[in-house]
Amino acid sequence: MSGQAPRVPEEMFKEAKYYTVGDLDPQVIQLLKAGKAKEVSYSALASHIISEDGDNPEVGEAREVFDLPVVKPSWVILSVQCGALLPVNGFSPESCQIFFGITACLSQVSPEDRSALWAMLTFHRGGCQLNLNKKCTHLVVPPVPAAAAGPPAPVPQAPLQRPRPPLPQQHLQHLQRLQQMQQIQPAPTAQPPGPPAQALQPPPPQAQEQPPLF
């Protein structure tokens, strides 16, 4: 976080007992202390775990064993900017969320839609910005009316494709498993053939009795 630190409302974090995992921006710690938050030395005593690494074993222990909320440092910064404690569910550092690895650039989007898109993307671990650069993975623009669109533009011979960041290993394994399930379909079970139908045979001719010979 760069620039001048935002002003913290008085006693904003007075009910928070935080435990940090990994290195954090010193200004985040200053915001917490300015809001009267208390740092603890053991995760079980904390009310909030603050970390950027959702896959850290210590973070997993705090979440699974002690059922504590784990938030990114941006929860502190944005809470201060909004003047109220924001919901912790939107600031989980876990990498299994739907928009993880996505950085969307919003272009020519109305302010109302921009706010809604920013909220949805950041809530589910995505990123949002207004400048189109190499960091962006998706460009979001409003739909163009058909009448104003004009004739379709020619398709270039070698379209430029922006590289996407690698998916988490867990997502990649699920995709590979789904692809295998789609490619290898179980063959329909054939019914065992029944006994061959026997042709109806005419009954054997009955032997006629010969008259006695005299």
Q: Are residues 69 and 42 in the same domain?
A: yes
What tokens appear for 196 in the block? 């061959």
Q: Are residues 83 and 105 in the same domain?
A: no
pTM: 0.54
Q: What are phi and psi of 177, to 5 degrees?
A: -65, -40
Specify if 68 maps to a domain: yes
Q: Are residues 30 and 74 in the same domain?
A: yes
CB atoms within 10 A of CB 159: 6
**How far is C-alpha 6 from the geometric centre of its chain's CA atoms?**
31
Q: Are residues 77 and 104 in the same domain?
A: no
Instruction: Note whether 13 and 36 are within 8 A (CB).
Output: yes
Handedness of CA 70, 72, 77, 79 (dihedral sign): negative
Specify if 196 maps to a domain: no
Q: Which of 54, 74, 91 is the last residue of a domain?
A: 91
Specify if 159 maps to a domain: no
Q: What is the SS3 assignment for 161?
A: coil
State how many domains the chain has.
2
We report the CATH number of the domain holding residue 118 as: 3.40.50.10190
Q: Are residues 30 and 87 in the same domain?
A: yes
Q: Are residues 79 and 112 in the same domain?
A: no
Q: Are residues 87 and 106 in the same domain?
A: no
Q: Are residues 71 and 128 in the same domain?
A: no
Q: What is the pLDDT of residue 61?
A: 87
Q: What is the SS3 assignment for 72?
A: coil
Specify if 81 maps to a domain: yes
Give residue 66's domain range.
Answer: 17-91
Q: Are residues 85 and 105 in the same domain?
A: no
What tokens appear for 157 in the block? 């011979």
- pLDDT, tens only, 77-100: 988 988 888 888 878 887 677 888
Q: Are residues 111 and 77 in the same domain?
A: no
Q: Residue type at 120?
A: M
Instruction: Note whether 37 and 17 are within 8 A (CB).
Output: yes
- pLDDT, tens only, 60-73: 888 888 888 999 99
Size of the chain in residues: 214
Q: Which of 68, 91, 114 is the last residue of a domain?
A: 91
pLDDT in tens, the chain (214 residues): 545 667 888 889 999 999 999 888 999 999 999 999 999 999 889 999 999 888 888 888 888 888 889 999 989 998 898 888 888 887 888 767 788 889 999 998 888 888 888 888 877 878 888 888 999 999 999 887 765 556 666 655 544 444 444 444 444 554 455 555 545 555 555 555 556 555 556 666 665 555 555 4
For residues 135-153, b (16+ Cβ closer than 10 Å) or e, as one string? Answer: ebbeebeeeeeeeeeeeee
Q: What is the pLDDT of residue 121?
A: 85
Residue 147 to residue 200: CA distance in whole angstroms: 77
